[in-house]
Amino acid sequence: MRQRRIQLIRSTLVQKMEELRSNADNTISKMKDAEGNFADSFDQAAIDSNKFVELVCRDRERELMLDVKETILRIDRGLFGICDHCGRMIHEKRLSIEPMSRLCTECQEEKEINHKRKNRQWAMKGISYNHV
């Protein structure tokens, strides 16, 4: 992949990181503003439920921020586009679609097949693999 294309991806990721940080700051501000006691327990329950949903969304964004940060570091260290599993180059098309990819297509497919296999094995035992 050309260096110019990599730097374009990096600047897009930096912009995404700033957007995620802004969302987190807005959430904190909204939650501080919404603090208070409400006479109606139903109103309080609704507010608490909304806060919970908001926090779940922000937690997903926090995980995304970690992935974005890691990808920026990989670019800066010259490791961007190298498969973590086999060490081969990840196709440029894959990186253009999902710049945070850390596995080449073949290794990603192998990982997904193994995951499905484990899920089937656990399901046969009556256990959900996703919750273990």
Report residue 87 as tokens.
């060490």
- Check: CB of residue 85 under 8 Å from CB of residue 96: no
pLDDT at 73 over 90: yes
Nearest to 20 by CA among 60, 53, 52, 76: 60
Q: Give the model's pLDDT for residue 76.
A: 97
pLDDT at 25 over 90: no
Report residue 105 as tokens.
């297509």
The three-state secondary structure class of 82 is: strand
Q: Give the model's pLDDT for residue 36.
A: 62
pLDDT at 45 over 90: no
Domain boundaries, the chain: 3-80
Kindly indicate the confidence band of residue 128, based on its pLDDT and cuts at 50, 70 and 90. Answer: low
Provide the whole-model pTM.
0.74
Topology (CATH level 3) of domain 3-80 = Four Helix Bundle (Hemerythrin (Met), subunit A) (1.20.120)
